[in-house]
């Protein structure tokens, strides 16, 4: 699977390929959803809630698209 | 004129039921299947969890606005719109995973419940949410929620809302441990990458 390397850092432990990455897409998207949920609970403005929610949902869908670039193993 | 007609009370508890249902589904996926059976969620499982959260945040928005006494019809419709879009997004994800295992003889990914795997159940839940939103919209504002007047009802509602928030945070922590310091999850995860990277497991 293709990986994207951005901002390598020294303080992070290396991954299985021996490379140090700083960003984690799934974790970030869950974090964004958590922030949106917190804003909703704390009575954040409607515009901010919708904006944050839309950003998180689009990010989740783009992550889904990233994982479905392969051709389905179907043969009829 | 009665400001608390039965339909509006039911409308509130229907939204609470919506949140509680996905709270149960997400908790079962994590605590029973992931921690109990040791089945690692694949990347497609994770994005479907995200879609469930996106859909449920619409109901959370409606419930919180109702409890705060700030719910208006536009805000009510905003919440229903969020739920519907989240369900549609999820319903575009699940079929992909279903099709990956559609060939005869394919055992599927993970344990089946009543003959259906979790991704098939996920699609069913997304369709149910879309139907739920459609039915609620057919009633116009008749089902626009009113907050419970009793302390117990309000407490139950806030507990479910905060429990759902905790579920999102827990999902974030667990996926971080599974993903480690990588951009993306592997296609077929076999363990917790962070624990490997930190040298705790091999």
For the segment B117-160, what is each residue's pLDDT rounded down to a tens digit?
A: 999 999 999 999 999 999 999 999 999 999 999 999 999 999 99
List Cα–Cα distances, A3 to A8, A24, A30, B96, B194, in angstroms.
13, 11, 20, 22, 17
Instruction: Using alpha carbons, select from B5, B1, B56 the residue that is nearest to residue B26.
Output: B56
Q: Is A39 exposed, middle or buried (0-12, 13-18, 19+ CB in 10 A)?
A: middle
Chain B 114-173, CB below 8 Å of chain A: which residues?
Answer: 161-162, 164-165, 168-169, 171-172
pLDDT for B150 equals 92
3-class SS at B43? Answer: helix
CB-CB neighbors (< 8 A) of B100 in chain A: 72-73
Q: How far is A27 from chain B (nearest CA, A)?
A: 5
Residue B107 has pLDDT above 70, yes or no: yes
Q: Do B78 and A29 touch (CB under 8 A)?
A: no
Which residues of A sit within 8 Å Cβ distance of B?
1, 3-5, 12-16, 20-27, 29-31, 33-34, 36-38, 40-41, 43, 46, 49-50, 53, 56-57, 60-61, 63-64, 66-68, 72-74
Query: Which pLDDT tens digit goes with each residue over B180-193?
Result: 777 777 767 777 87
What is the band of B165 on the pLDDT scale with cuts at 50, 70, 90?
Answer: very high
Query: What is the ipTM, given to two decimal places?
Result: 0.90
Q: Which one has a higher pLDDT value, B106 or B134? A: B134
- B43 Cβ under 8 Å from any chain A Cβ: yes
Average pLDDT over residues A39-68: 93
List Cα–Cα distances, A53 to B9, B138, B140, in angstroms.
27, 25, 24
pLDDT for A2 equals 42
pLDDT for A6 equals 40
Residue B70 has pLDDT above 90, yes or no: yes
Query: Which pLDDT tens digit goes with each residue over A4-42?
Result: 444 444 445 555 555 444 457 888 999 999 999 999 999
CB atoms within 10 A of CB B139: 13
pLDDT for A20 equals 47
C-alpha B38/C-alpha B40 separation (Å) is: 6
Q: What is the DSSP string of B135-200?
A: HHHHTTTTT-----SSHHHHHHHHHHHHHHHHHHHHHHHHHHHHH-SSSS--SS--S-HHHHHTTS
pLDDT for B2 equals 59
What is the band of A70 on the pLDDT scale with cuts at 50, 70, 90?
Answer: low
Q: Do A27 and B70 touch (CB under 8 A)?
A: no
- The answer to whether B57 touches A36, Cβ cutoff 8 Å, is yes
Of the ranges B106-110, B156-160, B172-176, B189-193, which is most confident? Answer: B156-160
What is the band of B64 on the pLDDT scale with cuts at 50, 70, 90?
Answer: very high
Residue B173 has pLDDT above 70, yes or no: yes
Handedness of CA B25, A28, B36, B104 (dihedral sign): positive
Q: Do A29 and B50 touch (CB under 8 A)?
A: yes
Q: Do B50 and A12 touch (CB under 8 A)?
A: no
Q: How far is B158 from chain A (nearest CA, A)?
A: 9
Q: Do A37 and B165 touch (CB under 8 A)?
A: yes
């Amino acid at each position: 699977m293709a990986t994207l390397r951005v901002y390598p850092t020294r303080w992070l432990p290396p991954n299985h390929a021996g490379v140090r990455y700083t960003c984690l897409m799934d974790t970030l998207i869950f974090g964004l959803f958590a922030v949106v949920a917190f804003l909703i609970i704390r009575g954040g403005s409607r515009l901010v809630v919708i904006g944050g929610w839309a950003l998180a949902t689009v990010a989740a869908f783009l992550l889904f698209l990233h994982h479905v670039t392969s051709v389905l193993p179907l043969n009829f | 004129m009665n400001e608390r007609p039965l339909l509006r009370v039911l409308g509130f508890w229907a939204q609470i039921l919506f949140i509680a249902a996905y709270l149960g589904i997400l908790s079962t996926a994590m605590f029973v299947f992931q921690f109990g059976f040791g089945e690692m969620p694949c990347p497609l499982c994770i994005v479907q969890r995200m879609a469930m959260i996106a859909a449920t945040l619409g109901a959370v928005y409606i419930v919180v606005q109702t409890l705060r006494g700030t719910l208006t019809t536009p805000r009510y419709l905003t919440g229903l719109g969020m739920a519907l879009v989240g369900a549609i997004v999820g319903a575009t994800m699940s079929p992909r995973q279903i099709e990956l295992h559609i060939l005869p003889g394919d055992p599927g990914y993970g344990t089946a419940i009543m003959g259906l795997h979790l991704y098939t159940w996920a699609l069913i839940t997304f369709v149910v949410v879309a139907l739920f939103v459609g039915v609620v919209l057919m009633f116009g504002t008749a089902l626009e929620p009113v907050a419970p007047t009793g302390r117990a009802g309000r407490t139950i509602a806030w507990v479910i809302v905060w429990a759902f928030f905790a579920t999102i945070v827990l999902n974030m922590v667990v996926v971080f441990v599974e993903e480690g310091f990588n951009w993306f999850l592997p296609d077929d995860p076999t363990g917790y990458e962070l624990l490997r990277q930190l040298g705790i497991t091999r």
